[in-house]
Amino acid sequence: MVHDLLARADLDALLLAGRYSLLDTSALNTLLPQLQKKGVALALGGVFNSGILAQRLQPGDRPTFNYQAAPGPWLERALQLQSHCDRYEVALPAAALQFALAHPAASLVLLGARDAAQWHQARAMARQPIDAGLWRDLKDAGLLPAQAPTP
């Protein structure tokens, strides 16, 4: 739908929810280059994929993905991401936020903070130091595409 919209309309900005995140990079090779080529600013929503990347995951958790219980393959992938983050002592939500912000097409990220405390927490996550080794490990493990920009 977004590709059709871009073909028919002259847009200044576009909101994309959930299709460019640490968990789901499906927009990386098609939509994001198209936005950059057309000079369309990108606002990313859903960088926590409706909850699955918003917290520390534990085996047995049933977080949400796309606003429903996370299907097994997505949950397994998120747990693998969590495992790599744990090795680097990085909060999964911090990695998710910084990954989304690292793409040059991303102008801003919409977080949906419920209160001031969540807003301040998100700002801290955006500044949390993350060792470059985490991003290399995620790519080496096939959890991120090799061409994905990282902080």
Write down the residue that tokens 């699955």 correspond to.
52
Indicate whether 94 belongs to any domain.
yes
Indicate whether 69 belongs to any domain.
yes
pLDDT of residue 4: 87
pTM over 0.85: yes
Indicate whether 11 belongs to any domain.
yes
pLDDT of residue 61: 85
Indicate whether 126 belongs to any domain.
yes
Indicate whether 149 belongs to any domain.
no
Per-residue pLDDT of the chain (151 residues; tens, 9 = 90+): 888 888 899 999 999 999 999 999 999 999 999 999 999 999 999 999 998 999 998 878 889 998 899 999 999 999 999 999 999 999 999 999 999 999 999 999 998 888 999 999 999 999 999 999 999 999 999 999 999 999 9
Indicate whether 147 belongs to any domain.
no
Whole-angstrom Cα distance, residue 105 to residue 34?
Answer: 10
Indicate whether 146 belongs to any domain.
no
Indicate whether 148 belongs to any domain.
no
Q: Residue 86: give its domain's CATH number.
A: 3.20.20.100
Structural domains of the chain, count: 1
Q: How far is CA 67 from CA 14, 48, 86, in A?
A: 21, 11, 25
Domain that holds residue 20: 2-140
